[in-house]
């Protein structure tokens, strides 16, 4: 099957994002006429209630969903290339458990209801915990020597298991911390605000540019470490640097929206089918598809009688795709 070029791939991805945003803006527990939503978006004459629903709830959720979905898709693309594993997930290196630990510690310290730099204490704790877990994983994996990808994977498994155990202990210290910590396990865009949007958008834009500038190194690494060395890539330093970027992307996503699974696993595969494996094309298309997918999943989550966490919807959508990918990989061996 002939794949479309970059321009057509970007156009299709942008169309998907536009449709997802429109659906998200028009659905919700408060049923608003489409003309009222459009009027509120363009500054028309609408009631204060309609204006508040559109501008204080739906628009922030769309903005946060685009940034977080893009961050997770980019992180998944990076990890799948660095680990040379099509089933690699952004949380595979222990960043997710680190975020859970941070949120749990914030709750156990009685910081519920407080804010840090515009973020809730739980969100700030999740970000700090995710970053510290990433630093620990990268420190254990090391920056020198061969088999950098394998060492990163093993270090992530080891640190993730340890941090999960510590997080579980922290949850038992004080029962009140369960509520904040469980929220990070389920994922939600319901708490979208200016601080979360700025953090997610700034981290995603900065780290996406960094990854895109190293697209040729990613292409080389995807062929194997020996092949990358033959093209002049410093494998250990490149794996370390791009892994750090991917971990920071996940940390920003987790701190602002919780643990949203499967976006970083599924979206890179969809983007590859659209524009091929070259990372200069793949990264921007994956970012767009990831943002659109999370915004669409949030619309589905809010269309139910009782709003469900967006992480539940992405799991329902992504789990069958993961099973298909796993089965296809097994049959190809």
Give residue 90's domain range: 6-331
Distance in angstroms (rounded) separating the CA atoms of residues 333 and 319:
22
Question: Does the residue 32 lie in any domain?
Answer: yes
Question: Does the residue 288 lie in any domain?
Answer: yes
Question: Does the residue 200 lie in any domain?
Answer: yes
CATH number of the domain where residue 224 is located: 1.10.3470.10
Distance in angstroms (rounded) separating the CA atoms of residues 173 and 137:
25
| pLDDT at residue 281, as a whole number | 93
Q: How many domains does the chain have?
A: 1
Distance in angstroms (rounded) separating the CA atoms of residues 283 and 71:
11
pLDDT tens, residue order, the chain (333 aa):
455 577 888 999 999 999 999 999 998 878 888 888 989 988 888 888 888 999 999 999 999 999 999 999 999 999 998 888 887 888 777 887 888 788 778 777 777 667 766 777 778 888 888 888 888 887 887 666 566 667 777 787 788 788 878 877 776 665 555 665 666 678 889 889 998 999 999 999 999 999 999 999 999 988 888 888 888 888 888 888 998 899 899 989 988 998 898 899 899 999 998 999 999 999 999 999 999 999 999 999 988 777 888 988 998 888 887 777 767 765 655
| pLDDT at residue 239, as a whole number | 86
* 15 sits in which H/E element: helix 6-26
Question: Does the residue 1 lie in any domain?
Answer: no
| pLDDT at residue 331, as a whole number | 61
Question: Does the residue 121 lie in any domain?
Answer: yes
| pLDDT at residue 267, as a whole number | 95
| pLDDT at residue 87, as a whole number | 78
Question: Does the residue 192 lie in any domain?
Answer: yes
Distance in angstroms (rounded) separating the CA atoms of residues 256 and 98:
14
Question: Does the residue 92 lie in any domain?
Answer: yes
| pLDDT at residue 1, as a whole number | 46
Question: Does the residue 280 lie in any domain?
Answer: yes
Distance in angstroms (rounded) separating the CA atoms of residues 161 and 55:
41
């Amino acid at each position: 099957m002939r794949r479309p070029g970059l321009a057509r791939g970007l156009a299709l991805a942008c169309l998907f994002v536009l449709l997802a945003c429109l659906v998200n803006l028009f659905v919700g527990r408060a049923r608003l006429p489409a003309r009222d939503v459009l009027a509120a978006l363009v500054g028309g004459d609408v009631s204060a209630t309609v204006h508040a629903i559109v501008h204080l709830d739906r628009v922030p959720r769309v903005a946060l969903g685009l940034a977080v979905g893009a961050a997770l898709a980019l992180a998944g693309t990076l990890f799948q290339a660095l680990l040379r594993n099509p089933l690699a997930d952004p949380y595979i290196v222990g960043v997710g458990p680190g975020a859970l630990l941070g949120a749990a510690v914030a709750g156990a310290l009685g910081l519920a209801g407080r804010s840090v730099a515009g973020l809730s204490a739980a969100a700030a704790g999740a970000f700090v915990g995710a970053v510290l877990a990433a630093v620990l994983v990268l420190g254990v994996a090391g920056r020198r020597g061969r088999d950098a990808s394998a060492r990163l994977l093993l270090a992530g498994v080891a640190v993730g298991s340890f941090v999960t155990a510590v997080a579980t202990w922290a949850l038992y210290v004080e029962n009140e911390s369960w509520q904040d910590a469980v929220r990070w396990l389920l994922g939600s865009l319901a708490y979208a605000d200016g601080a979360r949007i700025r953090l997610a958008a700034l981290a995603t834009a900065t780290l996406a540019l960094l990854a895109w500038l190293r697209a040729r190194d990613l292409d080389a690494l995807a062929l194997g470490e020996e092949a990358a060395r033959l093209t002049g890539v410093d494998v250990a330093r490149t794996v370390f640097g791009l892994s750090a970027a991917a971990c920071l992307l996940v940390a920003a996503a987790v701190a602002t929206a919780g643990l949203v699974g499967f976006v970083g696993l599924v979206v890179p595969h969809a983007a590859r089918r659209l524009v091929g494996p070259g990372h200069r094309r793949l990264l921007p298309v994956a970012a767009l598809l990831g943002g659109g997918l999370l915004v669409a999943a949030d619309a589905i989550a809010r269309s139910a009688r009782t709003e469900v966490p967006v992480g539940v919807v992405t799991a329902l959508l992504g789990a069958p795709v993961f099973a298909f990918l796993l089965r296809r990989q097994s049959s190809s061996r």
